[in-house]
Amino acid sequence: MIIRKKEHWFRMLFVWRGSVLPSLVPRLVLLLIFSIAVVYFHGTILSFKVPLNPAPLTLFGFVLALFLGFRNNASYERFWEGRKLWGELLNTSRSLTRQVITLNNTGEDKAFTLEMVALISSFVLALKHQLRDTDPRAELSERMDEKTLALVMAAKYKPAIIMKLIAERLQAAQAVGRIDSIQFARMDQNLDKLADILGGCERIHNTLIPYSYGVLLHRTVYIYCAMMPFGLVDSLGWFMPILVVFIAYTFVAFEAIADEIEEPFGNEPNDLALNAMAETIEETIFEMAGKEVEKGRKVGKEIID
């Protein structure tokens, strides 16, 4: 995700990186060429004058704008829900870390605390990679020992397995009297919250907006853009291609933005900044544990040693 300060209004007119315009240029150029051809032939196809005027295009464009607005609202709702889930993940990770740190941090308990914090960090990273369909081995290998890593990597749903490992460590700590039943119950509540966050992210990732709806809207947008030159050629003449491309850019860009943010966990410029958020969570929980983390690179070795 691209994060930048608010640009000056004039500079915003020329922003390229982070805009959907680069992917639309070939389509807009093709429409420009088509519109110029329509002007050149005076809106006729094989001696047949296409009987279109601006009136039906205006009405149809208004309806199309409403559908595009609904499509963008649905996509942004998914984007914002994903952002709220990761915000809740930050809060829950801090709460669970705080609860672990309130144990006696001396001797064996200190090692237990660091191991738990590393597992919480591993859960966040495993969730990030699951949502992006990428391999988490490189990052997880720096936060857990080889035996634990092999167990996690053998699983299909790695965040769920790490969450199970956290629960097992807490249960073992309760069994030896390191934590009492009340502390265990409160920590288990935060594990339930992690499960809810995991399920919410999986719901967004695995359930997209119905494909047939997207296809219908896509076809309608491009058919409308192809009809515009014939409806405006008589009234605008050679100025028509410029206006048509500008209007088409608005409609096509709205559709492209909706497609991009519909899956908020990807690597597109306008998707959620999962790398930055995961790094923030890791830094804050290890800072709470009294350990400095240099982008997570030292975590696993400290715990293994």
pLDDT at 297 over 60: no
For every residue of 161-216, DSSP letters joined together read HHHHHHHHHHHHHHHTTSS-HHHHHHHHHHHHHHHHHHHHHHHHHH-PSPHHHHHH
pLDDT at 199 over 90: yes
pLDDT at 30 over 70: yes
pLDDT for position 161 = 96
pLDDT for position 106 = 53
Q: Mapping DSSP to helix (H, G, I), strand (E, B) and coil, where does residue 49 land?
A: strand
Does residue 174 contact residue 181 with C-beta atoms inside 8 Å? yes
pLDDT at 128 over 90: yes
DSSP 238: G
Place of tokens 């963008």: 72
| Sequence-separated (6 or more) residues with CB below 8 Å from residue 6 | none
Q: Taking the CA of residue 202 as centre, how many other CA atoms within 13 Å lie in the half-sphere pointing to its CB?
A: 13
Highest mean pLDDT among 82-91, 169-178, 293-302: 82-91
Which one, of 55, 35, 62, lies nearest residue 240 by Cα? 35
The pTM assigned to this predicted structure is: 0.84
pLDDT digits (tens, 9 = 90+) for 47-74: 788 888 888 888 888 888 888 888 899 9
- Residue 8's CB is within 10 A of a number of other CB atoms, namely 7
pLDDT at 302 over 60: no
Confidence of residue 300 (pLDDT cuts 50, 70, 90): very low
Q: So where are the chain's domains? A: 22-77+210-262, 88-207+273-304
pLDDT for position 16 = 73
Does residue 163 contact residue 194 with C-beta atoms inside 8 Å? yes
pLDDT at 291 over 80: no
pLDDT for position 301 = 37
pLDDT digits (tens, 9 = 90+) for 210-244: 888 888 889 999 999 999 999 888 888 899 999 99
Does residue 149 contact residue 158 with C-beta atoms inside 8 Å? no
φ and ψ at residue 158, rounded to 5 degrees: -65, -40
Which one, of 286, 295, 297, 296, lies nearest residue 114 by Cα? 286
Confidence of residue 190 (pLDDT cuts 50, 70, 90): very high
Better-scored residue on pLDDT, 302 or 184: 184
Q: Is the dihedral of CA 262, 267, 272, 278 positive or negative?
A: positive
Rg (CA), the chain: 27
**Residues 274-303, mean pLDDT to the nearest whole number:** 73
For every residue of 75-98, DSSP letters joined together read HHHHHHHHHHHHHHHHHHHHHHHH
pLDDT for position 275 = 93
pLDDT at 12 over 60: yes
**Mean pLDDT across the chain:** 87
From CA 189, how far away is CA 187, in angstroms rounded?
5
Which one, of 190, 211, 217, 208, lies nearest residue 265 by Cα? 208
Place of tokens 């391999």: 135
pLDDT for position 296 = 43
Can you point out the beta strands (E) in the chain?
Answer: 44-45, 48-49
pLDDT for position 118 = 94
Confidence of residue 201 (pLDDT cuts 50, 70, 90): very high
From CA 273, how far away is CA 1, in angstroms rounded?
5
